[in-house]
């Protein structure tokens, strides 16, 4: 069968906790904090289109994950066959055949453990395939890091209490606003869709100077207003005559500082995380992060179920928002970049890769569908880009949930940033790059000073093969530590700067990352590599299937 995954040569019986660990790694690869944006995705697509679209993307993700692993084994077979043919051409004696097969078996096992997504791309399309994969990995991981800054800033923003104030507007002079009678509400449950918070106030265009009268002494700041709330406020007037028209409405104003500052709060910690060379040191912290994310996830589900009611503003389908929906949901299934490493780590248990993959994607689909349906039905068009923003403001429950999410997201950041740092350092400091140390020449027999490409070749040089797959390139010890730290700090600062710039566009950042990076990695590239590696042996139906996915996925 075309979709059947290769079975390892000698699977062994593994104990239950190994199975549990492998399955947990598979789930961890796919589930993150993106479930918070699925309800907003359903708002973009409508309820019916959201359910159908999420199911379609889940099935397609499952299929393409199996496909990229199949491509891995096809690439391994090509490498081993090329090595075998090379030895036959060299005219080795028949009595050495057994020894050669043992060596080929070692090469096969080494490739099963070490081959990466980029290696599959290189064996399929040469250097171009490697560069495309690395560019997509960089884009998606860096985009998620930007999203984490935004998520943390908005989550901190949500922990501040809100003041309920009366807003008065002079329609004769559109630049005059007055806020009066501000009072602190300890609990605001399900605020109406139209509200004004510090986020709105701090986002006013600098070229619009508003005459703002602050009547309440408890508000010690003068805030400019967004010009685009004029259309919202002008729909109704409380009094009207030829010279003066006013509108009064209750608005919620957050007591939080500017969102620009809140987004930057984790910056020093993230810079420190970027200096860590060995991620194994974060192992126990990662466990705590996963537990925190799980607690936050379950708490939001409990909140949605408790007192659940259906909003009157939900719709079954929204054609205009479908591109945003597909980008968001494609980004939510973010694990294909780690599928090959996880499959490689399941030595002795790779025969369970298929069931574990189906289970992980099935579980994630259930979680995303639950959040999407319940969040959208409860809040309708009032659902926020991040679902935790719909929690009752000022409540202890909201504070606990946000703290759990903060803790989990902060400690997950270094794992998301690591591939970005690794690629940036390789393309900056590896041998032959612009900032690489000058090449030194030593005796060929001196193994200590072999080139990085020789040390990191996927196939040992003594095999006589002319196939070289540089993986996990090692940065020379001659590169000063401060230079590497400078590159890491610049990457984190770039992510922070973009987060400040797009601080109110969390869902759209994820939609862009999902639509561009994740779609290429998850759907298009596996099919392209599959066609390149198995074109001469695959059936016409499989060719049509792969081509259709390549054509349909971008849309």
Domain spans in the chain, listed from the N-terminal domain onward: 16-157+265-552, 161-255
SS3 call for 126: coil
Say if residues 102 and 83 touch (Cβ distance below 8 Å).
no
Q: Which residues pair with 250 in a beta bridge?
A: 166
Q: How far apart are CA 158 and CA 152, in angstroms?
A: 10
Model pLDDT, residue 237: 37
Examine the pLDDT at 219 and tell me if it is beyond 70: no
pLDDT at position 509, please? 79
Return the SS3 of 393: strand
Q: Which of 262-276, 316-330, 417-431, 465-479 has the lowest mean pLDDT?
A: 465-479
The alpha helices in 242-392, defined as continuous H runs, are 259-263, 267-274, 283-305, 322-332, 339-345, 353-379
pLDDT at 252 over 60: yes
Mean pLDDT over 528-538 rounds to 89
The mean pLDDT of 157-173, rounded to a whole number, is: 68
pLDDT at 455: 38
Burial class from Cβ neighbours inside 10 Å (0-12, 13-18, 19+) for residue 212 reads middle
Q: Which two tokens stand for residue 218?
A: 């408890």
Other CB atoms within 10 A of residue 263 CB = 26
pLDDT of residue 492: 93
Report which of residues 13 and 315 the model is more confident about. Answer: 315
Write 231-236 long-range contacts (CB < 8 A, 24+): 232/194, 233/167, 233/169, 234/169, 234/171
List the single range of 37-51, 89-103, 506-520 with lowest mean pLDDT. 89-103
Strands 239-240 vs 211-214: parallel, antiparallel or unpaired = unpaired
The angle subtended at Cα 554 by Cα 365 and Cα 124, nearest 5°, is: 95
pLDDT digit string, tens, across residues 490-511:
999 999 999 888 887 777 777 7
Please tell me the predicted confidence (pLDDT) of residue 98.
Answer: 59
SS3 content of the chain, % helix, strand, coil (to 5): 65, 5, 30
The average pLDDT across 7-18 equals 60
Q: Residue 324: is its pLDDT beyond 90?
A: no
Residue 528: CB atoms within 10 Å: 21
Q: Which of 334, 384, 400, 342 is nearest to 361 (CA)?
A: 334
CA nearest neighbour of 479 among 529, 526, 426, 527:
426
Lowest mean pLDDT among 173-177, 193-197, 421-425, 503-507: 193-197
Q: Which numeric CATH code is attached to 16-157+265-552?
A: 1.20.1740
Q: Is 50 exceeded by the pLDDT of residue 229?
A: no
- Among 138-142, 143-147, 285-289, 546-550, the minimum mean pLDDT is found in 285-289
Quick one: average pLDDT of 289-297?
Answer: 80
pLDDT, position 286: 65
> What average pLDDT does the segment 338-355 reach?
78
For the ranges 29-43, 218-232, 342-356, the lowest mean pLDDT is seen at 218-232
Better-predicted residue by pLDDT, 251 or 513: 513
Lowest mean per-residue pLDDT among 139-143, 195-199, 261-265: 195-199
Query: What tokens appear for 340 in the block?
Result: 């090959």
Provide the pLDDT for residue 315.
87
- Indicate if the pLDDT at residue 26 is higher than 60: yes
The four Cα atoms 270, 272, 274, 280 give a dihedral, to 10 degrees, of: -110
Q: If you average pLDDT over every residue of the chain, what do you get?
A: 72
In the predicted model, is pLDDT for residue 431 greater than 80?
no
Percent of the chain at pLDDT exceeding 90 = 8
The pair of structure tokens assigned to 496 is 């922070």
State pTM to two decimals. Answer: 0.69
Q: Which residue has tokens 């597909």?
A: 326
Q: Is the pLDDT assigned to residue 121 strictly greater than 80? A: yes
485-345-517 Cα angle (round to 5): 60
Q: Alpha helices of 90-126 — where are they, by DSSP H?
A: 97-114, 117-125
Whether the pLDDT of residue 25 is over 60: the answer is: yes
User: Helix, strand or coil for residue 203?
Assistant: coil
Sequence-ordered alpha helix ranges (H) in 352-451: 353-379, 396-429
99 pLDDT higher than 80: no
Confidence of residue 522 (pLDDT cuts 50, 70, 90): confident
């Amino acid at each position: 069968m075309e979709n059947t995954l290769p079975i390892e040569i000698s699977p062994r019986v593994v104990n239950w906790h190994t199975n549990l660990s492998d399955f947990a790694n598979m789930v961890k690869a796919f589930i993150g904090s993106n479930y918070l944006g699925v309800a907003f995705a359903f708002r973009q697509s409508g309820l019916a289109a959201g359910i159908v679209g999420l199911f379609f993307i889940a099935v397609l993700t499952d299929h393409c994950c199996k496909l990229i692993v199949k491509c891995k084994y096809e690439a391994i077979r090509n490498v081993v066959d090329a090595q075998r043919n090379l030895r036959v051409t060299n005219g080795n004696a028949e009595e050495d055949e057994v020894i050669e097969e043992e060596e080929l078996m070692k090469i096969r096992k080494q490739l099963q453990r070490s081959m990466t997504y980029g290696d599959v791309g290189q064996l399929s399309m040469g250097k171009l395939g490697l560069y495309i994969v690395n560019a997509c990995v960089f884009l998606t991981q860096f985009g998620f890091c930007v999203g984490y800054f935004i998520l943390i800033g908005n989550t901190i923003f949500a922990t501040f209490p809100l003041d309920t104030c009366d807003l008065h507007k002079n329609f004769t002079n559109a630049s005059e606003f007055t806020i009066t009678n501000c009072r602190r509400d300890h609990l605001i449950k399900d605020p109406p869709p139209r509200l004004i918070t510090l986020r709105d106030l701090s986002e006013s265009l600098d070229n619009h100077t508003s005459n703002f009268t602050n009547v309440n002494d408890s508000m010690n700041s003068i805030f400019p207003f967004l010009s685009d709330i004029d259309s919202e406020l002008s729909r109704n007037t409380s009094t009207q005559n030829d010279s003066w028209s006013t509108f009064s409405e209750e608005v919620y104003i957050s007591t939080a500082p500017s969102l620009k500052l809140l987004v930057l709060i984790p910056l020093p910690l993230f810079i420190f995380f970027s200096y860590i060379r060995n991620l194994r040191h974060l192992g126990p912290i990662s466990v705590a992060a996963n537990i925190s994310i799980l607690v936050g996830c379950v708490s939001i589900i409990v909140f949605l179920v408790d007192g659940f009611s259906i909003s009157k503003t939900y719709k079954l389908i929204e054609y205009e928002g479908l591109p945003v929906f597909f980008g968001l949901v494609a980004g939510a299934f973010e694990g294909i970049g780690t599928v090959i490493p996880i499959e490689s780590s399941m030595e002795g248990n790779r025969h369970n890769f298929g069931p574990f993959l189906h289970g992980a994607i099935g579980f994630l689909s259930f979680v995303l569908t639950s959040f999407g349906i319940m969040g959208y039905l409860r809040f309708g068009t009032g659902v926020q880009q991040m679902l935790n923003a719909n929690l009752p403001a000022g409540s202890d429950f909201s504070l606990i949930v946000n703290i759990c999410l903060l803790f989990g997201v902060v400690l997950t950041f270094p794992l998301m940033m690591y591939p970005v740092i690794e690629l940036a350092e390789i393309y900056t400091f590896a041998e032959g790059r612009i900032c690489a140390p000058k090449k030194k020449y030593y005796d060929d027999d001196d193994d200590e000073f072999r080139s990085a490409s020789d040390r990191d070749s996927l196939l040992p040089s003594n095999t006589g093969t002319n196939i070289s797959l540089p993986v996990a390139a090692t940065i020379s010890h001659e590169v000063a530590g401060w230079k590497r730290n400078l590159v890491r700090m610049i990457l984190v600062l770039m992510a922070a700067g973009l987060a400040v710039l797009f601080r109110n566009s969390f869902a759209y950042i994820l939609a862009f990352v999902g639509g561009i990076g994740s779609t290429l990695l998850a759907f298009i590239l596996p099919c392209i590599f599959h066609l390149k590696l198995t074109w001469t042996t695959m059936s016409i139906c499989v060719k049509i299937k792969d081509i259709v996915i390549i054509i349909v996925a971008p849309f």
